[in-house]
Amino acid sequence: MPREHDLYAPGLKRMKRHNGRIDLYWVADEKLVAKGYLPKTVRLFGGWPSEEIAARCAILHAEMLEWASGHEPARNAAPPGTLAWICRAFETDEDSPFHEKRQDTRTFYSKYIGKLVDKAGDHLLAEIIGRDVRRWHKDWSAEIGERSAYACIQTLRRVVNYGCELRDPDAIELAAVLAKTEFRMPKARKRRPTYEQIVALRAAAHAAGRPSVALAVTFQFELGLRQKDVIGEWSRLSEEERALIEGAITDGAWVWHWGLTWNHIDASLLLQKPTSKSNGNEVAEHDLRLHPDVLAELPPRGVGPIVVDERSGKPWKRSHFSHTFRKIARAAGWPDEVWNMDSRAGAVSEAFEAGAEPADVMRAATHTQMATTMIYNRGGVVQSSRVAELRAARRKGRGEG
């Protein structure tokens, strides 16, 4: 169970009822509501603290800020020259690279921009030195953990680099300072599900009446696909962007894309799926005839999205999928430390353990660099044991044993 102070949940409000029950709500900023922003409140389901609730709040907050950027005055209200000013410019300037990113990425940036502003928004860029940044990093590490502290530092670099694009002399000077100020990267994740855990989760998903969750996780584990490339994502597009799309799956102002559709699987069961991480430049290719577990979960051929929320009849919303997955994973005996995103690492690790050629594993995972593939390889003991056996066999063959 995550600690409450480790989670970023902007707008979260807790309302205690007369019977002692505590209901959770996300509440929009009053000033933006007065200008016409909707929804004013969103009911949240589940217990607190939880990563699912925090993620939902962060997404709703980012959506509100995105709306505000088109309805608030273009003037940056933060004092010029401050860290808050450059953060605000990065989020709201029309030409900022912030707007080129996908919604999930913008949500991630906004989460840590909020922490930068909370920590030192009133600091002048001209007065920030490396010693200050090291102290902030130390504070963040104690407050929100090493991984989030490093994300704060990387976000600081991004917003300051945007200041360099604006040719702000203080930002240019601070960027040079940050380039010389090194921070230890957080340790890579080591957890990943085993095949036996995947089988248990599939059974639990079917028992819960959620075969779509079993199908999604099987796609991820068997084929090494990312969750987004399986269930897709919902984005809130501008009116201009929305007008250019024909035949899209929509839910009000939201448009679904990047998920698996039946068009990605041909009659011979060859799957060809452009990946979201590469913006469609890399294509995951798999012969599903070689994956009996996928075929066992795959429903009869249809049209449109393959993985659909049984209750809504539409593709899953990310936060709802995460919440449902965790309930099923717990029922299947998964520890909370093993996440759905680790299924991809499970695919890579099992491939290496089975003796697959590294280049083949890299291609199957649609990576362009072997270093990236090795980050996902979390089967150290099995692989080091196989190396030891091969070395011992070689010595024995040479009469050295």
Q: Where are the domains of the chain?
A: 1-72, 84-187, 195-386
Is 297:211 a contact under the CB 8 Å cutoff?
Answer: yes
Q: What is the rounded distance in angstroms from the CA atom of residue 375 to the CA atom of residue 45? A: 34
Q: What is the rounded distance in angstroms from the CA atom of residue 287 to the CA atom of residue 223? A: 10
Question: What number of H helices and E strands is found in the chain?
Answer: 17, 8
Q: Tens digit of pLDDT for each residue in 323-375?
A: 899 999 999 999 988 888 888 887 787 777 777 777 777 777 777 677 666 66
**What is the end-to-end Cα distance of the chain in Å, rounded?**
50
Is the pLDDT at 159 greater than 90, yes or no? yes
- Asked which of 174-183, 306-315, 377-386 is least confident by mean pLDDT, the reply is 377-386
Q: Tens digit of pLDDT for each residue in 83-138?
A: 999 999 998 888 899 988 877 788 889 889 989 999 999 999 999 999 999 999 99
DSSP-assigned letters across all residues of 250-275: EETTEEEESS-BGGGB-TT-EEEEE-
Is 162:90 a contact under the CB 8 Å cutoff?
Answer: yes
Q: Tens digit of pLDDT for each residue in 222-266?
A: 888 889 999 998 887 666 666 666 667 877 778 888 899 999 999
CATH classification (class only), 195-386: mainly alpha
Is 201:332 a contact under the CB 8 Å cutoff?
Answer: yes
Is the sign of the CA dihedral 81, 85, 90, 95 positive or negative?
negative
Name the nearest CA neighbour of 115 among 85, 89, 136, 91. Answer: 136
Q: Tens digit of pLDDT for each residue in 25-84?
A: 999 988 888 888 888 899 888 788 887 788 888 888 877 887 776 654 445 678 889 999
Q: Which residue has the tokens 């696909």?
A: 225
Please give the average per-residue pLDDT across 173-187, as a whole number. 90
Q: Which residue has the tokens 């599939």?
A: 202
DSSP assigned state of 100: G
The residue with greater pLDDT, 174 or 364, is 174
Q: Determine phi and psi for 152, rounding to 5 degrees.
A: -60, -45
Is the sign of the CA dihedral 97, 101, 105, 106 positive or negative?
positive
Q: What is the rounded distance in angstroms from the CA atom of residue 112 to the CA atom of residue 158? A: 11
